[in-house]
């Protein structure tokens, strides 16, 4: 490939129209695997959660997990899809060491759910993302390459494989190509995955944690000149956070535009998103469907969900996240923009639970959207994984409301909570962070401040009460922020009146 000069993002979207498509995999939270009774718990010793079926031993026969089918149908319904009355699983044949059967049980031309949509809001504008299909498949195992510096296969001395994950149900949600987004494409892609995550989370069928891989997203991007046919797409994998979804689309737009500007053509390929640089690197060139030699799975009976059952599932769907957001926005008394940032931060449920644990809406929002959001950003984890629970945040705010700590001390308490030092009250006493309002204990510090600042003291004696602030500040300094400011002020004025 010739070296190309990269255009700016604005130049790229001025010359080309992006088309995007998102393929999202969701690992279902069923108790057992999709086609056998093995447990699905995360983090067990390698290869302890396997059996002849999920190891693909000869003669072993799969049986479909009803809970997996039900969850897939509920996802389809929540995404406004039509549910197939009859469909089959298919074998997708390929060889990969972490796939013991040498085929993946998946769906091909007969997906369980088709033709849905999701509406997403970006800055007050609504974009409808059409869903092509929602299908059920199984996860692969995991390879581990050891002995090298990078953990990649290159330079490794041994490769290990763990089949615990093999056979865990996965749902793949594929959008139709999304056009007409222009410069908004990266933001809309992110908003779509966010909305999808919230919808699926509301169904309680998966913990949809991108950082743990239970929600994974492949991002397809192509560019075309206005009025011309769609261009060749690339597929970015390894996109492990909502922020990365946005960055992956953006960097592909810039990269592809550079190639097209120089008269080159785009290779249809899988690329790997690089978290550190924010761009993508080439991976394998993309297989086509014929390479997989799909055929209907002969060992499983067709899936024919009773329409009455599907209707029941539909009637029992939970409140839509978008409807819920509108309701909570009213209850919390905040603006649409503020609610949007709460949603984008993944904080809706966290704030809701914090309020349920006793905090005021303002108090709950303040910690999650302030201190904790900042930490989550810095450490690159989702807010829910930052290390404080809703109950702890409610306890923290209660300590502030009771006057036991002020905001400054509360931030230190929160630091201890996040570091795993215990609940707020525990951290407060262990670190000795309680506000001191005991007049006896504060009197000495007050007298010291008066002695050290005779000019200020003189002013106050002359009736310039406003000057007391400087002395309060001095006392706060010597008590490392732990003095109760109101009490200090009273003591100062009492001494100098």
Q: Do β-strands 90-93 and 82-83 pair in parallel, antiparallel, or remain unpaired?
A: unpaired
* Cβ atoms 215, 26 nearer than 8 A: yes
Q: Which is nearer to Mg ion, 23 or 447 (CB)?
A: 23
From residue 82, how far is each of 75, 133, 135, 315, 442 by CA, in Å?
11, 9, 12, 14, 70
Q: Which is nearer to Mg ion, 23 or 110 (CB)?
A: 23
By beta-carbon distance, which residue lies closest to ligand ADP?
21
State in angstroms the smallest separation of the CB of 298 from ligand ADP.
23
State in angstroms the smallest separation of the CB of 166 from Zn ion.
8
State in angstroms the smallest separation of the CB of 224 from ligand ADP.
8
Does 60 help bind Zn ion (rule: CB under 5 A)?
Answer: no
* Cβ atoms 297, 90 nearer than 8 A: yes
Binding mask 155-174 for ligand ADP (x = CB under 6 A): -------------------x
* Cβ atoms 7, 158 nearer than 8 A: no
Does 38 help bind Zn ion (rule: CB under 5 A)?
Answer: yes
Does 428 help bind Zn ion (rule: CB under 5 A)?
Answer: no
Among 12, 13, 19, 87, binds ligand ADP (CB under 6 A): 19
Q: Which is nearer to Zn ion, 139 or 172 (CB)?
A: 139
Task: State the binding partner of 176 from ligand ADP, Zn ion, Mg ion, none, CB within 5 to 8 A by kind.
Answer: ligand ADP
Among 24, 220, 354, 395, binds ligand ADP (CB under 6 A): 220
* Cβ atoms 381, 352 nearer than 8 A: no
* Cβ atoms 310, 316 nearer than 8 A: no
Does 132 help bind Mg ion (rule: CB under 5 A)?
Answer: no
State in angstroms the smallest separation of the CB of 23 from Mg ion.
5
Neighbouring C-alpha atoms within 13 Å toward the C-beta of 134: 31
The number of residues that bind ligand ADP (CB under 6 A) is: 15
Would you state the structure tokens that stand for residue 197, as one six-digit string?
């995550």
Rg of the chain, C-alpha, whole Å: 29
Does 36 help bind Zn ion (rule: CB under 5 A)?
Answer: yes
User: Using CB under 5 A, which residues numbered 149 to 168 contact Zn ion?
Assistant: none
Q: Which is nearer to ligand ADP, 9 or 294 (CB)?
A: 294
Among 12, 16, 21, 186, binds ligand ADP (CB under 6 A): 21
Does 394 help bind Zn ion (rule: CB under 5 A)?
Answer: no
Among 74, 233, 250, 329, binds ligand ADP (CB under 6 A): 233
State in angstroms the smallest separation of the CB of 130 from Mg ion.
16
Residue written as token pair 């581990």: 144
State in angstroms the smallest separation of the CB of 164 from Zn ion.
9
Does 230 help bind ligand ADP (rule: CB under 6 A)?
Answer: yes
State in angstroms the smallest separation of the CB of 177 from ligand ADP.
4
Among 24, 50, 106, 222, binds ligand ADP (CB under 6 A): 222
State in angstroms the smallest separation of the CB of 133 from Mg ion.
10
Q: Which is nearer to Mg ion, 23 or 490 (CB)?
A: 23
Among 9, 11, 23, 437, binds Mg ion (CB under 5 A): 23
Does 51 help bind Zn ion (rule: CB under 5 A)?
Answer: yes
- Region of 18-26, 40-48, 102-110, 341-349 interacting with ligand ADP (CB under 6 A): 18-26
State in angstroms the smallest separation of the CB of 421 from Zn ion.
40
Residue written as token pair 């092509």: 132
- Region of 53-61, 90-98, 310-318, 350-358 interacting with Zn ion (CB under 5 A): 53-61
Task: State the binding partner of 36 from Mg ion, ligand ADP, Zn ion, none, CB within 5 to 8 A by kind.
Answer: Zn ion
> Residue numbers of the site for ligand ADP (CB under 6 A)?
19-23, 174-177, 220-222, 230, 233, 235
> Residue numbers of the site for Zn ion (CB under 5 A)?
36, 38, 51, 53-54
């Amino acid at each position: 490939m010739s070296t190309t000069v990269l255009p700016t993002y604005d130049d790229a979207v001025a010359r080309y129209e992006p088309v995007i498509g998102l393929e999202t995999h969701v690992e279902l939270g069923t108790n057992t695997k999709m086609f056998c009774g093995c447990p699905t718990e995360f983090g067990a010793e390698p290869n302890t959660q396997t059996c002849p079926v999920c190891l693909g031993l000869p003669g072993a026969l799969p049986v479909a997990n009803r809970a997996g089918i039900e969850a897939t149908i509920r996802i389809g319904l929540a995404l406004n899809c039509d549910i197939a009355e009859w469909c089959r699983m298919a074998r997708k044949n390929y060889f990969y060491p972490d796939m013991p059967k040498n085929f993946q049980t998946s769906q091909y031309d007969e997906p369980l759910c088709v033709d849905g949509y999701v509406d997403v809001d970006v800055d007050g504008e609504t974009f409808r993302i059409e869903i092509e299909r929602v299908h059920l498949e199984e996860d692969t195992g995991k390879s581990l390459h050891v002995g090298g510096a990078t953990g990649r296969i290159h330079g490794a001395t041994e490769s290990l494989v763990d089949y615990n994950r093999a056979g865990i149900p996965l749902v793949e949600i594929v959008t139709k190509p999304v056009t007409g987004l222009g410069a908004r494409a990266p933001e809309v892609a992110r908003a779509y995955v966010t909305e999808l995550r919230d919808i699926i989370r509301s169904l309680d069928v998966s913990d949809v944690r991108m950082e743990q891989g239970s929600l994974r997203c492949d991002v397809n991007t192509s560019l075309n000149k206005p009025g011309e046919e769609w261009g060749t797409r690339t597929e970015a994998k390894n996109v492990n956070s909502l922020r990365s979804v946005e960055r992956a689309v953006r960097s592909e737009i810039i990269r592809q535009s550079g190639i097209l500007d120089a008269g080159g053509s785009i290779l249809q390929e899988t690329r790997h998103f690089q978290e550190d640089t924010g761009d993508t690197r080439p991976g394998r060139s993309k297989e086509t469907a014929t390479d997989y030699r799909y055929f209907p799975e002969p060992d499983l009976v067709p899936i024919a969900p009773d329409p009455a059952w599907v209707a029941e599932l539909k009637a029992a769907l939970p409140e839509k996240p978008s409807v819920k957001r509108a309701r909570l926005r009213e209850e919390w008394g905040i603006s649409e923009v503020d609610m949007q940032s709460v949603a984008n931060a993944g904080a809706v449920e966290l704030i809701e639970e914090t309020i349920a644990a006793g905090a005021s809406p303002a108090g709950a929002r303040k910690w999650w959207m302030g201190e904790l959001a900042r930490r989550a950003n810095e450490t690159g984890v989702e807010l829910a994984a930052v290390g404080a629970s809703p109950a702890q945040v409610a306890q923290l705010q209660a300590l502030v409301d009771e006057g036991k700590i002020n905001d400054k001390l509360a931030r230190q308490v929160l630091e201890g909570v996040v570091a795993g030092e215990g609940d707020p009250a525990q951290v407060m006493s262990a670190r000795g962070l309680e506000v001191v309002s005991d007049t006896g204990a504060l009197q000495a510090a007050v007298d010291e401040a008066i002695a050290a600042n005779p000019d200020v003291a003189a002013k106050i004696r002359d009736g310039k009460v406003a000057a007391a602030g400087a002395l309060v500040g001095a006392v706060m300094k010597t008590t490392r922020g732990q003095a109760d400011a109101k009490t200090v002020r009273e003591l100062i004025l009492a001494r100098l009146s």
